[in-house]
Amino acid sequence: MKKLGALVLLLACASCTCCPPRNSVELFNGQNLNGWTAFSAKSDVKLEDVWSARDGVIVCKGEPIGWLATEQTYTNYKLTAEWRWGDPQKPGNSGFFQRINGEPSTLPRCIECQLKHESAGDLMGFQGMTLQGDATRAMKPKKFALGELTAGVKKSAMAEKKPGEWNRAEITVQGDKITVVVNGQKINEVTGVPVLAGRIGLQSEGGEVHFRNIRVVPLD
């Protein structure tokens, strides 16, 4: 009976989506921001002026604009993370950055998975980072004060929860393809992404936003 019970438990854990794979890496230890570095549009702003760790959550004030990134670089991986808006009455803007590379800037060279309220799941390539997907959802390239939107593809469906509730994103970056799943629903997929090692980032772009359970599973 003990062996049968152990087998049942093992099979249950193997099929449980809440149990992280053995090779998953916790990017946030729940206590501090060790392993992360920050960049801000204002040179006199320190990491702790915008970002903090509180009760197992990364809290981003949202101002000034900038980002927090892993010190480690990754090429192929599956990123899982949860986010919510600090003020449910004023959901703001943020994003998950993939394959950050090149010289640091306010809006770095990367692929962004948009988290802006009602746009979560849009994928955008900045500063020369390319991508392609469903032509009916393609964004037009444009230049603006912070740089260049090289290409973008909007999400296929709304999968966000009500502002203030926790959302879960699963972003798989494999070769030249990126797939986005929000709250269990696949809502975007693009190809043609430059294959290179880069850092993973969280964006500060207006409105308090919280992050937790940030894990990456290397696929190399």
Q: Using one digit for the tens of pLDDT, what is the confidence trace for 83-115?
A: 999 999 999 999 999 999 999 999 999 999 999
Contact yes or no for 124/99 (Cβ under 8 A): no
Boundaries of domain holding 208: 24-218
Judge whether residue 16 has pLDDT over 70: no
Q: What is the mean pLDDT of the chain?
A: 93
Count of structural domains, the chain: 1
2 inside domain: no
Identify the pLDDT of residue 95: 98
Average pLDDT over residues 64-79: 98
Looking at the domain assignment, is residue 79 inside a domain? yes
In a domain, 187, yes or no: yes
CB 115 within 8 A of CB 134: no
Q: List 198's β-bridge partners, or say none.
A: 74
Is residue 66 included in any domain, yes or no? yes
- How confident is the model at residue 7, as a pLDDT? 43
Q: What is the pLDDT averaged over residues 206-217?
A: 96
Q: Is residue 175 part of a domain?
A: yes
Report if residue 30 sits inside a domain: yes
Share of the chain above pLDDT 90, in %: 88
Give the pLDDT band (50/70/90) at residue 3: low
Global confidence as pTM: 0.91
Whether 17 maps to a domain, the answer reads no
| 204 within a domain of the structure (yes/no) | yes
Q: What is the CATH number of the domain that holds 74?
A: 2.60.120.560
